[in-house]
Structure 1
């Protein structure tokens, strides 16, 4: 009863200041998404300035990914238990201070440690911000908010490339320090606009479940990111994947018995949640694969500098923003499932077109139109893939739902990207004469195979999207007097 009563208070607060609330929540996601690409552009400068080797430089990315991906479920649960507003504030402060530490780092060890701490802050911010959206909004209001969420994620990816190139002209340190003023602005606005909400405990905190999920997910992320240097079939990789599977299986078994589980498994009996999260994972994969290999193609095949490469992503980001912000209207017009299928179909068709780009191609002739079409399709697919798993989820399960969405999106994307990197490298090696260095033609051949793989991922997501029910999210209804057992009910299917 407490949880639902809190939701009524929160809902009225949201209606009074929905604009500022969305600014904070979407702004937090924008900053996290911006950080991913803005840092990648700075890696060559970091390597030269700090004298880092290739392995230690990889940990500037991997340390962040490991903490972020491994702690998303725990971050969502901490928001449920201790208050989502409180965790959003703590996560933002941690992210800001760790960004400052990154910018002032005097050596490789400091930078890697600061990046890992930055991942902890992001793991608190991202799922909690989405949980507030799911808990406080419903129907078209939730669709609009999650569409804007997807728009900012896509826009930040492209702007990060451009801003990263510009800031790197001054110093790579500014690629991290830029997060500090953004965080200060978000915290200032959040003080008067973000309401508190939490879910009452049903028993002891699920410490074992938290440990098992964090260890299992962290080990999975580590095993996946290591495949960029080692083979998927290497004994160390297979051992880590097996240990991760065992930990996650143990987590699932324990959650069935825990009094206050991190993830109540009954939520997965909802077809919108289970199928929706599977589509979210594949959509995240399509996005990561496309961003990564478009960047490599324009730099290694077309010979563009990092700053010019950033400009290539501006029309893509504009296309993503256009369809993401109109996802709610498209859902009203044709339904959620059709909108999701349409977005994935256009993404697949565009990637098939990109797979025809030659090694000696030209941006305007070979990249511009298909990449913009991809932005239109993926922008719609991303927004609707965030909306689908949130259908019918009530406020008391908002944290669980947001944790699952954030986790499947990030880890699904990482797995798909690692698989396509391996596939592209194998193709490049296959067409390169023995003992020779891979030339532009061989590299481009690998990129084309990766684009084909991205199209296959989009088509697989399309097939899974057909499993979603036709039922659309209901419009908000007055909350009736709750029963004592309301918080235990399953989400609507």
Structure 2
């Protein structure tokens, strides 16, 4: 079923799919403010505490392509439901975990569930909706990604006042609601022309997992360490082998012909930079508020409420803007405004306050980034037919997540060097944050330039059916 119209059933489908994305995105941030309590109660060593976050991020980033192709092979609804069940049960295990090892293992299962749900949910959005309806649906998808990040920190601060366990348990009823709504989903499957591409899955998944693991390790070991460069070298060899194998496989995991679509190629480059900008800004702004302005977790989360409100507003209006000025113009405009907001934030002072130094630039940034995020998702799927919807969705999810992880790791390392070279004082710390926001502005400028490579948007033929 493909539709350009909205009706009760299509609204329920959209609610189920964007609800799943909201749950996945919120889980990436809701745990951050609870880390001190988790460390105290479960006996984490300081050096190991990062695994509460990374155990989720590694399988999530590395298994996205495989998750998308599982949906193609086994049926999108079946895989989506299985991933939602796994994510919900893993969330319950997280909330009941009685040891550090149990919590890390449960977080890893959450990551596997998220890697299964996220690309398959986007596959169904691309397959079910067409034309402007697809643009609106992907706009809501992008809105949930941004909104969940801000609300996750605020909700995490509220829940952790009772117990850190509620930061995980809150996902369980959301998962149950998504499962109830999933009965309205249709089963989509792509006919296969050969044996499943097991070798391609192993090469790509192992390569991406090693990239993600090496990048995460730079926070501890740095980029120059053998543990980092060695892992990245092996990962590059595996990914190069993956590309070569895709040219020979009868039913490749990622048919290379998809990159003949300029929107897919250029769009995914923009998506990676957009993901990096979002990760950098959320991470660095939170640290600036807490480490320089002495905000508590709850107050820091509240700062992101206006950001989340603006993201929701503009992301859901992006389809209208695309109709008005086209996809390239909309994406370039959003990235330009994002660059202005990031550049403004790069002037944050040591003795600043929210109203004069944070409110203005953060709202401008949110206005631009909300448009850019939604439009980049649309660009990455533009002109892709149902037979390649799963591949396109897997690429979008993978480049967005790994682009964010790699971009953040690069900037965290650069900011730390800047801070240490300046003596490690509060002024030096602020200098590191300024550098991070300046790099984010540069990423936005580069992404805006890449928009010139996108093909002009052409409206597709109206859909065949609706409800």
Segments of 5+ residues of structure 1 without an aligned counterpart are 1-8, 433-437, 480-493
- 1:256 aligns with one of 247, 252, 256: 247
Tell me the CA shift for residue 316 of structure 1.
Answer: 0.5
**Residue aligning to 2:45:** 53
Q: Tell whether the 8 Å contact from 1:14 to 1:21 is kept in structure 2 after alignment.
A: no
Q: Tell whether the 8 Å contact from 1:162 to 1:310 is kept in structure 2 after alignment.
A: yes
Q: Deviations over 1:3-46 (max 9, x none)?
A: xxxxxx46599866110000000000000011011011111110
**Residue aligning to 2:352:** 361
1:137 and 2:123 aligned: no
Q: Tell whether the 8 Å contact from 1:14 to 1:136 is kept in structure 2 after alignment.
A: no
**Residue aligning to 1:345:** 336
- 2:175 aligns with one of 180, 183, 200: 183
1:442 and 2:428 aligned: yes
Tell me the CA shift for residue 137 of structure 1.
Answer: 1.3
**Residue aligning to 2:455:** 469
What does 1:202-213 correspond to in 2, within 5 Å? 202-213=193-204
What does 1:154-193 correspond to in 2, within 5 Å? 154-191=146-183, 193=184
Q: Tell whether the 8 Å contact from 2:4 to 2:462 is kept in structure 1 after alignment.
A: no
Q: Tell whether the 8 Å contact from 1:69 to 1:221 is kept in structure 2 after alignment.
A: yes
**Residue aligning to 1:316:** 307
Tell me the CA shift for residue 471 of structure 1.
Answer: 2.7
The structure-2 alpha-carbon separation of the partners of 1:105 and 1:394, relative to structure 1 and needing over 3 Å to count, comes to: same
Tell me the CA shift for residue 179 of structure 1.
Answer: 0.5
Tell me the CA shift for residue 60 of structure 1.
Answer: 1.0
Tell me the CA shift for residue 475 of structure 1.
Answer: 3.8
Segments of 5+ residues of structure 2 without an aligned counterpart are none
* CA distance in 1: counterparts of 2:266 and 2:463, whole angstroms: 26
The structure-2 alpha-carbon separation of the partners of 1:140 and 1:51, relative to structure 1 and needing over 3 Å to count, comes to: same
The secondary structure found in structure 2 opposite 1:262 is coil
The structure-2 alpha-carbon separation of the partners of 1:12 and 1:405, relative to structure 1 and needing over 3 Å to count, comes to: closer
The structure-2 alpha-carbon separation of the partners of 1:202 and 1:298, relative to structure 1 and needing over 3 Å to count, comes to: same
What does 1:89-488 correspond to in 2, within 5 Å? 89-191=81-183, 193-432=184-423, 438-478=424-464
The structure-2 alpha-carbon separation of the partners of 1:215 and 1:170, relative to structure 1 and needing over 3 Å to count, comes to: same
* CA distance in 1: counterparts of 2:190 and 2:198, whole angstroms: 17
The secondary structure found in structure 1 opposite 2:313 is helix
Q: 4+ residue runs of structure 1 moved beyond 6 angstroms?
A: none
* CA distance in 1: counterparts of 2:94 and 2:111, whole angstroms: 12
Q: What is the TM-score of this pair, normalised by structure 2?
A: 0.98
Q: What is the TM-score of this pair, normalised by structure 1?
A: 0.93
Q: Which moves more between the two structures, 15-24 or 344-353?
A: 15-24
What's the C-alpha RMSD, in Å, of the aligned pairs? Answer: 1.3
The secondary structure found in structure 2 opposite 1:146 is helix
* CA distance in 2: counterparts of 1:137 and 1:226, whole angstroms: 40
Tell me the CA shift for residue 472 of structure 1.
Answer: 3.0
* CA distance in 2: counterparts of 1:475 and 1:122, whole angstroms: 33
